Structure 1
Amino acid sequence: MTATLLDTSKGIVEYTYKGTGPAVLLLKGGHSTRETDLSHSSLIYEGFSLLTVSRPGYDYTEVSTGKSPEIFAETIIEILDHLNIQTVKVIAISAAGPTGIALAVNHPSRVSKLIMEAALTSPWEEAVKQKARVLFGPAERMVWGSLKTMLKFFPDLIMKQLISEMTTEDPEEYLERLSPNDRRFIYDMLATSQSGKGFSLDIDHSVTTDISKIQVPVLGMYSQKDKSVPYTHALLLKSRAPDCEIFEVDADSHLIWIGKNAQQVWNKRLEFLSR
């Protein structure tokens, strides 16, 4: 899919826009690049147009476009204006949660619905921030280069390391239960990941907007066994957002898009978007 670069008032932003029908804005999570697809691209075959915006520090999107979720929400509005899109249904994944919330709260006339998929609703823990600064700061290119090389030769080892950060289950047993398609999903996700300057920015992005001021319907999809975004984020969202439904995904990790209930996640997303 060909990407477009837009020179906004705050800097260059990369996006893709494809399909016809009601517009869905996709904000991917941490480490995700233009090539990372967690299944959402199929929305264009379900009658939606899909606007995917690379967040600050990822791909060619400049850090200056969003040093806070609120600032990046303003940048997104410039993209919508450029494309003559009046309103969007927003999907915010994982680390994109704060931006999704900022967009819904500060620009209610431009957002009709918000889906939070294993998405952050409160600040990162300090221990997570410190680890991220070491791994995904100045050394991130070397770290990802080594991981991707190892992935080719020792895929199980690298996938196990990844999963250990994402599940409360035993990572080895988790891997053994995966179908070949689910293993391919994780492999492809890793192979297309790159932090750039984005994840260093993500860890300092936090929800400073008042969730109780969200005026649109919200769907939160979370797993009880998610280690990286604990279920407390779902409970916080439910307790504060006025019109919020939490769909508890029976998934064994942060990766709610795979596993035995992946089809239920897809169906729930479609049902909410189509209301």
Structure 2
Amino acid sequence: MTTTLLDSTNGIVEFTYIGEGPPVLLLKGGHCSRDTDLSHSSLVYEGFSLLTISRPGYDYTEPSTGRTPDEFADTIVEVLDYLSLDRVHVIAVSAAGPSGIALASKYPERVDRLVLEAALTGSWDRKSRKKAMMLFGPAEKMVTGSLKFMLKLFPDLVMKQLLADMTTEDVEDYLDNLSANDRRFIYDMLSTSQPGRGFILDLDHDVKNLHELNVPVLGMYSQKDRSVPYTNALLLKSTVPDCEIYEVNADSHLIWIGKDAHDVWNKRLEFLKQS
């Protein structure tokens, strides 16, 4: 896949654009690199084109392109203008929630529909923020390198430790009940993760314009998500008039795997294909 670096007004921004058909902008979640695929790449086989923009601090996108979600929305619009894309559907995943919300609220004329997938709609809680600052601050490269090294040697141990922050279920039971394909999904997700400077920037993001959303919104959330609690879905539903909440029958933050994964895929397609 060809990666493009655009010298925007506020710095270098990295993106890829593939496929033909109605454009979908994908904003990946925290820790996700250009190589992380949570199944969204298959949208190109469903008749969509897929624009993936790396958020500030991730891959080659410079932090200066948007230290706040509102600032990054301006950079995204520069990319859309560069590609001559008048309007796009938007999918914002997990920590990218504030960026997707900022874009749709600040530039509603550029967004057809917004899908929030296990996405933040408010601020980080203090405990999670403090823990993440310790792990992914100055020691980020060492921590990430060590985790990837250990993942190769002791995959179940590393997955269990990291999944404990993603599920309200007993983590050993959760891991034991995963299919081989689901285990591979998690392994690939972790092995391609690269928070860089991006995740630390994410921790300061806040959502100030949720009430300004006036584009159709689909929120997909799990009741058993520990990292992005279901309260984010309730806040979204109570604040945004044109909003549908789809409660995913998933046992963790990872709504893209498990027994309901196919329904998640179909629900997303159904929403994106509405006129």
SS at match of 1:7: strand
Aligned partner letter, 1:200: I
Displacement of 1:10: 0.3
SS at match of 1:90: strand
Counterpart of 2:227? 228
Matches within 5 A, 1:62-141: 62-141=62-141
Counterpart of 2:237? 238
Displacement of 1:2: 1.6
Displacement of 1:75: 0.3
Aligned partner letter, 1:241: V
Aligned Cα RMSD in Å?
A: 0.5
SS at match of 1:239: helix
Question: Hey, which bits of structure 1, 4+ residues long, moved more than 4 A?
Answer: none
- Distance (whole Å) between structure 1 residues aligned to residue 36 and residue 236 of structure 2: 26
Displacement of 1:212: 2.1
1:274 correspondence with 2:273: yes
Counterpart of 1:53? 53
SS at match of 1:226: coil
SS at match of 2:246: strand
- Distance (whole Å) between structure 1 residues aligned to residue 160 and residue 181 of structure 2: 16
Structure 1, unmatched stretches of 5+, are none
- Distance (whole Å) between structure 2 residues aligned to residue 146 and residue 16 of structure 1: 29
Counterpart of 1:177? 177
Aligned partner letter, 1:11: G
1:216 correspondence with 2:212: no
Displacement of 1:208: 1.5
SS at match of 1:109: helix
Counterpart of 1:8? 8
SS at match of 2:255: coil
- Distance (whole Å) between structure 1 residues aligned to residue 225 and residue 131 of structure 2: 18
- Distance (whole Å) between structure 2 residues aligned to residue 214 and residue 122 of structure 1: 14
TM-score (norm 1): 0.99
Counterpart of 2:249? 250
Displacement of 1:242: 1.2
- Distance (whole Å) between structure 2 residues aligned to residue 129 and residue 228 of structure 1: 11
| Percent of aligned positions that are identical | 69
TM-score (norm 2): 0.99
Aligned partner letter, 2:74: E
Counterpart of 1:197? 197
Aligned partner letter, 2:59: D
* Alignment size in residue pairs: 274
Aligned partner letter, 1:246: I
Displacement of 1:138: 1.0
Could you report, residue by residue, the CA deviation over 1:145-167 in whole angstroms, capped at 9, with x for unpaired residues? 00001000100000001110000
- Distance (whole Å) between structure 2 residues aligned to residue 74 and residue 231 of structure 1: 29
Displacement of 1:12: 0.1
1:33 correspondence with 2:33: yes
Could you report, residue by residue, the CA deviation over 1:105-143 in whole angstroms, capped at 9, with x for unpaired residues? 100100010000000001001111111111001111100
- Distance (whole Å) between structure 1 residues aligned to residue 223 and residue 126 of structure 2: 21
Counterpart of 2:264? 265
